[in-house]
A and B are shown apart, each in its own frame.
Chain A
């Protein structure tokens, strides 16, 4: 029996770390994905074969950056590759400095010898079902999604109060105080909203933000929150689709940088226009950016509330970029 709504996706696994490789193979087998393990020049040949057999899209998973090879993959006709990079504490620092990072749509952290199952599955599901937008894909199935529309910059006060109360209210679910999470969540939402109201809108980019502004119907911002018992997802979607990949990649290395190193760099660069994005990156576990060019950009921040606020942002960070 096959699901006619979803496409089949093959994966090429080019992973040096043996643990990760074994785990990936088993995981993909469990979800009926055709998996090819290849290394070196072999990947090019394998992808050529896939393309020849009519495969339109394939996932390429690796734990090293080989720009030359990735560029060769791109030249193979009639197949689109989704590149996914696995990083861990040992590889993070060298990887974040590599220019080749730009060639990956997805960067996921491994933790304690395990690949991040949940993020992998949600990435694959999106590609398979070709449904990308919405926070529901970033939390466990069935979690309730709160949906709102913002049509005036002054409504942000309501959004701040409501989200703060919402997260404070999760304290009894999590069995610990959630004040710090509430602060983080509100600050993240603020930056995403300001970005969607002003930065994304070509008409308002240069406008003085101290002046409250009413948005036209085609400029309104959609907001979603969802909590599944562990993850809090905050999604903000604009109607412009002006988000550029280089912008986000400029800051991406900070998402994966080791703490002290990133702090020093933040100090040096934060004074500029990127402060808002730095603030977001410092307060989240996963960042998912989906762009439908000239139509819509959705930025989702996921906060993992199952760990102490002290360590939560360091654990299992991930970044996903979908251009659809």
Chain B
């Protein structure tokens, strides 16, 4: 796992595992903005370690660009979103068999989704005829964390 600071945002990349050590990146306490777009995988020890560090450093995290690996953990480990955590945006991976195109939709808080509200969402089709773009994720379970989180 790597963490890089750029324009006030901490960009996290790679695999979050038990060796995840947020103590080494000079993170301030209070509100910290993490861009998780490049997180590849997370293992069960990694989630716990991440949560421990967030608590230890008294961070109120803002997560943006959350990929599928992260959203799956939001849904499974509710402590991931404790400490007044905010999710600014998350990704929906999608693929269109007809166009052969892979697409990532970014859903933003306050725009495409509201916390505490059940999300009904439909993927926007591309310009081409017979576009059959389909999400890689099951919306009912994928959006579960949105309903259960307060705004």
Contact = CB atoms under 8 A, between A and B. Distances in A.
B112 interface: no
B77 interface: yes
Contact of A259 (B15, B42, B135, B138): B138
Contact of A210 (B18, B135, B148): B18
Contacts of A190: 17, 41, 43
Given A308-B136, A310-B134, A177 B44 contact: no
Contacts, number: 87
A160 B137 CA distance: 22
Interface in A233-288: 259-260, 263, 266-267, 270-271, 275-276, 278-279, 282
Interface stretch (A30-38, A137-145, A178-186, A295-303): A178-186
B40 A191 contact: no
A263 B141 contact: yes
A194 interface: yes
Contacts of B68: 180, 183
A186 B95 contact: no
B44 A263 contact: no
A150 to B, nearest CB: 15
Interface string A68-101: 0000000000000000000000000000000000
Interface residues of B, number: 34
A104 B8 CA distance: 56
Interface string B29-41: 0000000000011
Contact of B77 (A187, A260, A270): A270
A176 interface: yes
B60 interface: no
A209 B21 CA distance: 13
Given A164-B41, A186-B15, 15 more contacts: A179-B102, A183-B69, A187-B42, A191-B43, A194-B43, A210-B49, A260-B140, A266-B76, A267-B75, A267-B78, A270-B77, A271-B78, A275-B48, A282-B76, A308-B136
